[in-house]
Each structure stands twice: as structure tokens, then as C-alpha cells.
């Protein structure tokens, strides 16, 4: 009997094996949830082993193999859950050969498939992981106004410049809001900045790779991709907060502060002078106004953001312990 009452409260995490996904699964298990986590390949230990090792996984974690474009595989994972966290979406900030196949289809069609399955399974609330990449680049935003939840990425600009990741996140989030409205599904969104911190998976994600490259002397300024950093634990907590807080609605910017990549790089150089961190101009993100308590909606829900300094320390210590740097 106890088992079924727990089962009634099960939640599904798509992209459960990823950087944010594993942290979210970890915190949900800690809180006593039963979790259905999705992976791309059940036979790949790089996707499953770190999840199976989490405390509580043995009794309350079920892994499901899915393809975002295969509706039936999603139905199997979402069936018998009351909440869904949709994190699975490709994150590629390097050059993309086939944007439709590599980024746009999995992001947009994948999101719609997840929401359809959630609706069909009677899920109470879906938390969609969007990104600051659905907020910037936004070239027509007034220069004297801080960017926030009411700001949207300029998709035409993205297409012109061939930057497909922000286009994919923006179109997927817009599709989610449209679906929610048309179908009466309760959807809330989290828009994290550049996510860093301790790594659970054996592989490295795009934003930690950015830090690794910076330590190795990379001079890329991520002009159209950076709006501020955030600790991976805070991102996972933000998902749980907006899921459990019934009054939560709309988008939730999730950064410790709105800052420039140059600010971040300067702090890395100050804390770790032993690495060859390049010097950058002060304003690497033209027109981006800095702001301390930019993520006000989440702060008002009780989230106390980990500082940039601590994010950097935790990230670099993790890169060291995983052998990416010495």
C-alpha cells in the first residue's frame, strides 16, 4: 500500500542523465520523490551508472530509454507520474551543420511530444527548462531597461548569424506556451544562465567546457550566449521550487546576477592566477545592463543564490577531481 501512495507522487525527469538532470534527480530522491528519469541509451553506462549510484535510487528511481521524437517512448516514461520536468534538449554552442536535425527538431517537436504525453497522462504540472538563450540575444530591447522575463530572443537575428541554439530554445519555449494555452496544461518555465558546478555525469557539458577552455586560454567572449552564471544546484532547486509552489507561473530567470562574460573571466583570473586566463574588455556583452537581484521571482520564493565566487570554486575543484585539469 505504501508503495502505491508513493507511486501516486512519482515525477518524470527527461534528460535525467545530463548535468542539470542528474542534480535534479539527486535532489528529488533526497526529498523522497519516486523518479522516472529518461536516458538516450539504457545500455550506456555513461548515462546510467552515476544515476544508479545516487542515494535512494535503488528503491525510487526508474530509468526509461527515450527518443524525443518517439511519442510512445515518452508515454511509457511519463505514464503514472503527476509531474514532469522537461530538461532533455540538445545544447550545442559550436557550429551546427544541420540545425533542423541537430537542434530545432529535438527542441521544438520534442517539447511538444513531452507536453502531449503529459496532457494525455493527466500530469498536474510540467516544468520546462528553457534558457537565458530564449531571452538574449535581443537587439531591439531598450538600452536603459534591465533584461528579464519579459524579454525574448530575436530569432531572425539568430537565423541571420547562424546561431541555432538560442533559436532552438526560443522556438521551443514559445511552442510550449502555445500548447499550454490551447490545451489547458499547467506549465511553468525556468530560464537558467550559464550553469556550472560539481559534475555528476562522466562527460562534460557545454558550459563547463566553456570554463575549461577559458582556463586553457580561449579568448571567445560568447557575445550572444552569456547573461550571467548560476550554480547547478540552484538550477535544480529552482525547478523543484516552481514545481512545488502552486502559485508559481510564467518564466523564471535563474542567474546569480546579470553579468558580462568579462566579469566572470576576471573573477576566475583573480581566484586562480595559476591558469592562463585571458584578459577581456570590461563589456563583453554590448548593451547588457548588469543587475544583482535579477532573478527576483525565484529569490521571492526563497532561493538564495550561490555567489559567482563559489560557483567558480566548486566548478574548478570538480574539473580537477574529474581529471580535466591539474
Q: Identify the pLDDT of residue 13.
A: 98
Q: What is the mean pLDDT of residues 89-116?
A: 83
Residue 96's pLDDT band, with cuts at 50, 70 and 90, is confident
pLDDT > 90 fraction of the chain, expressed in percent and rounded: 89
Number of Cβ atoms within 10 Å of the Cβ of 159: 12
Task: For residues 169 and 74, give the distance between their C-alpha atoms in angstroms, rounded to a whole number.
Answer: 20
Average pLDDT of the chain, as a whole number: 94
What mean pLDDT comes out for the span 280-298?
96
Quickly list DSSP for 107-160. IIIHHHHHHHHHHHTT-SEEEEE--GGGT---TTS-TTS---TT----HHHHHH
CATH number for the domain that contains residue 24: 3.40.50.720
pLDDT at residue number 62: 98
- Cell numbers for 169: 530554445
Q: By residue range, what is the domain housing residue 132? A: 2-196+232-255+291-299
pLDDT at 97 exceeding the cut of 90 = no
Total H helices, total E strands in the chain:
14, 9
**Catalytic center residues:** 169
Listed range (87-96, 199-208, 210-219, 273-282) with the worst mean pLDDT: 87-96
- Position 8 scores a pLDDT of 53
Residue 269's CB: how many other CB atoms inside 10 A?
17
Looking at residues 230-249, what average pLDDT do you find?
98
What's the rounded Cα separation, in Å, for the pair 112 and 176?
7
Mean pLDDT of the 275-288 span: 95
| Within a domain: 312 | no
- Say if strands 83-86 and 194-196 run parallel, antiparallel, or are unpaired: unpaired
pLDDT for the residue numbered 3: 35
> Does the pLDDT at position 5 exceed 60?
no
Whether residue 324 is contained in a domain is answered as no
**101 belongs to a structural domain:** yes
* pLDDT beyond 80 at 247: yes
Percent of the chain scoring above 70 in pLDDT: 97
Report the number of distinct structural domains present in the chain. 1
Q: What is the pLDDT of residue 6?
A: 36
What would the mean pLDDT of 186-192 be, rounded to a whole number? 98
Chain length of the chain: 326
Mean pLDDT of 181-202: 97
277 domain-assigned: no
Q: Strand pairing partners for 191?
A: 253
The average pLDDT across 261-274 equals 98
Q: Does residue 282 lie in a domain region? A: no
Note the pLDDT tens digit of each residue in 40-81: 999 999 999 999 999 999 999 999 999 999 999 999 999 999
Q: Which residue has the cell 508503495?
A: 3
Quote the CA–CA distance of 208 and 214 in Å, as a whole number.
Answer: 10
Give residue-wise pLDDT tens across range 25-44: 999 999 999 999 999 999 99
Question: In this structure, is residue 238 part of a structural domain?
Answer: yes
Q: What is the DSSP string of 43-78?
A: T-HHHHHHHHTSTTHHHHEEEEE--TT-HHHHHHHH
Confidence of residue 92 (pLDDT cuts 50, 70, 90): low
Instruction: Select from 258, 266, 291 the least CA-distant residue to 191.
Output: 258
- Please report whether residue 156 resides in a domain: yes
Residue 260, domain member (yes or no): no
Amino acid at each position: 500500500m505504501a508503495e502505491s501512495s508513493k507511486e501516486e507522487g512519482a515525477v518524470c525527469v527527461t534528460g535525467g542523465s545530463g548535468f542539470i538532470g542528474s542534480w535534479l534527480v539527486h535532489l528529488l530522491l533526497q526529498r523522497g520523490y519516486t523518479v522516472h528519469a529518461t536516458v538516450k541509451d539504457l545500455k550506456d553506462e555513461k548515462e546510467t551508472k552515476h544515476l544508479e549510484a545516487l542515494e535512494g535510487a535503488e528503491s525510487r528511481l526508474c530509468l526509461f530509454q527515450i527518443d524525443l521524437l518517439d511519442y510512445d517512448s515518452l508515454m511509457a516514461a511519463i505514464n503514472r507520474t503527476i509531474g514532469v520536468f522537461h530538461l532533455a534538449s540538445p545544447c550545442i554552442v559550436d557550429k551546427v551543420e544541420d540545425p533542423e536535425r541537430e537542434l530545432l527538431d529535438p527542441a521544438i517537436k520534442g517539447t511538444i511530444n513531452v507536453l502531449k504525453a503529459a496532457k494525455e497522462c493527466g500530469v498536474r504540472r510540467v516544468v520546462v527548462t528553457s534558457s537565458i538563450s530564449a531571452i538574449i540575444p535581443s537587439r531591439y530591447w531598450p538600452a536603459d531597461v534591465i533584461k528579464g522575463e519579459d524579454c525574448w530572443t530575436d530569432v531572425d537575428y539568430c537565423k541571420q548569424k547562424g546561431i541555432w541554439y538560442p533559436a532552438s530554445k526560443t522556438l521551443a519555449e514559445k511552442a510550449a506556451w502555445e500548447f499550454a494555452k490551447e490545451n489547458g496544461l499547467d506549465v511553468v518555465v525556468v530560464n537558467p544562465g550559464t550553469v556550472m558546478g560539481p559534475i555528476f555525469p562522466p562527460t562534460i557539458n557545454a558550459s563547463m567546457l566553456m570554463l575549461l577552455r577559458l582556463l586553457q586560454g580561449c579568448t571567445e567572449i560568447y557575445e550572444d550566449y552569456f547573461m550571467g552564471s548560476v550554480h547547478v544546484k540552484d538550477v535544480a532547486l529552482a525547478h523543484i521550487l516552481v514545481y512545488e509552489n502552486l502559485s508559481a507561473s510564467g518564466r523564471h530567470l535563474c542567474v546569480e546576477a546579470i553579468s558580462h562574460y568579462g566579469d566572470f573571466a576576471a573573477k576566475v583570473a583573480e581566484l586562480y592566477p595559476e591558469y592562463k586566463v585571458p584578459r577581456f574588455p570590461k563589456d563583453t556583452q554590448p548593451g547588457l545592463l548588469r543587475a544583482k537581484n535579477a532573478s527576483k521571482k525565484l529569490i521571492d520564493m526563497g532561493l538564495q543564490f550561490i555567489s559567482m565566487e563559489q560557483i567558480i570554486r566548486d566548478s574548478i575543484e570538480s574539473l580537477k577531481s574529474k581529471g580535466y585539469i591539474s
